[in-house]
Amino acid sequence: MALIEARELTKTYVMGDQTVHALRGVSLDIEEGAFVAIMGASGSGKSTLMNILGCLDLPTSGIYRLADEAVEGMAADQLASIRNRRIGFVFQQFNLLPRTSALENVELPMVYAGIKSPERRERAMRALQKVGLGERFAHTPAELSGGQQQRVAIARALVNDPQLILADEPTGALDSQTSEDIMRLLTDLNAQGMTVVLVTHESDIAAWARRKIVFRDGHILEDVLQDSKQSGSDSNSPAKLETDSHSVELSAAGPPQGARAPSGGSAVHGVTSVGVSSA
């Protein structure tokens, strides 16, 4: 069973006498542990799909199952619940509350989940440490750089321990060096078993993923597996996650598993931690 199972999704917006077919029948499976980049021209339907995958919006027609739960037809409170339990969101503009500390921003999803204050603090602190911002917990967004703000947003996305991270142009507002740091962080989370789906306009960013899906006019134009930048740097390559001698055997035997399977999920589950700056 794939984590994401979508069949013939359509989304139609009617505005006055205008009808926009944002999605025209999109079917895809995404395995647990996958790292997927979605590309395509402006207006091709990428964000519309992300909103549906993220249970922020429902399709006009089609079937969407997330972790075997049927999402289409869910009421608003059920959508909120599945979002809270399973999904972390990262946006281009960070969407942090201004004049609110990094720690309180990261605590927010746990407020919605009804988690009590001491535990909230502790988990938010741990998430900030995980993204390398433990010492900046008291800073407000205005007192942080763009890259640091996006790290806070990623910590906020992580704090309910989601299976799925959905990131719509997470590096769209960042310079190339900072973008690379953010991609390394997402790669690290993926190596720890989280499924990552991101939208990007930049092929440099898409190159970090192991699968690339290209949209055009509400359709999937292309869906390919690729050698990711992460395996190029080789410390995060699925084939190298075993012991050293085993990894030699694997690479001698042919392409690494990650080059064939969209997920690589089973290969990475045993990994507990891969350094953020390992590449």
Q: What does the binding site for ligand ATP look like in residue numbers (CB under 6 A)? A: 13, 15, 20, 22, 40, 42-48
* Binding partner at 45 among ligand ATP, Mg ion, none, C-beta below 5 to 8 Å by kind: ligand ATP
Residue 158, SS3 per DSSP: helix
The stretch among 46-54, 57-65, 86-94, 190-198 that binds Mg ion (CB under 5 A) is 46-54
Q: How far is the CB of 162 from Mg ion (least distance, A)?
A: 21
Query: Per CB under 5 A, does 44 bind Mg ion?
Result: no
Identify the H or E element spanning 14.
strand 4-15
* Binding partner at 20 among Mg ion, ligand ATP, none, C-beta below 5 to 8 Å by kind: ligand ATP
Q: Cβ-closest residue to Mg ion?
A: 47
Measured from the CB atom, the residue of 47 and 179 that comes closer to Mg ion is 47
Measured from the CB atom, the residue of 48 and 105 that comes closer to ligand ATP is 48
Residues 6+ apart with CB under 8 A from 226: 207, 209, 210, 211, 212
Measured from the CB atom, the residue of 47 and 228 that comes closer to Mg ion is 47
Q: Round to the nearest angstrom and report the end-to-end CA distance of the chain.
A: 31
* Count of Cβ atoms closer than 10 Å to residue 220 Cβ: 20
* Count of Cβ atoms closer than 10 Å to residue 144 Cβ: 18
Strand partners, 58: none
Q: Are 162 and 131 in contact (CB under 8 A)?
A: no
* Binding partner at 109 among ligand ATP, Mg ion, none, C-beta below 5 to 8 Å by kind: none
Q: How far is the CB of 140 from ligand ATP (least distance, A)?
A: 28
Query: Of 47, 140, 179, 230, which one interacts with Mg ion (CB under 5 A)?
Result: 47
Q: How far is the CB of 78 from ligand ATP (least distance, A)?
A: 21
Query: Per CB under 5 A, does 179 bind Mg ion?
Result: no
Residues 6+ apart with CB under 8 A from 169: 91, 92, 198, 199, 200, 201
Measured from the CB atom, the residue of 47 and 231 that comes closer to ligand ATP is 47
Q: How far apart are CA 9 and CA 15, in angstroms?
A: 20
Measured from the CB atom, the residue of 169 and 180 that comes closer to ligand ATP is 169
Residue 146, SS3 per DSSP: helix
The stretch among 42-50, 77-85, 111-119, 157-165 that binds Mg ion (CB under 5 A) is 42-50
Q: How far apart are CA 39 and CA 209, in angstroms?
A: 11
Q: How far is the CB of 116 from ligand ATP (least distance, A)?
A: 36
Strand partners, 10: 24, 61
Residues 6+ apart with CB under 8 A from 227: 259
Query: Per CB under 5 A, does 92 bind Mg ion?
Result: no
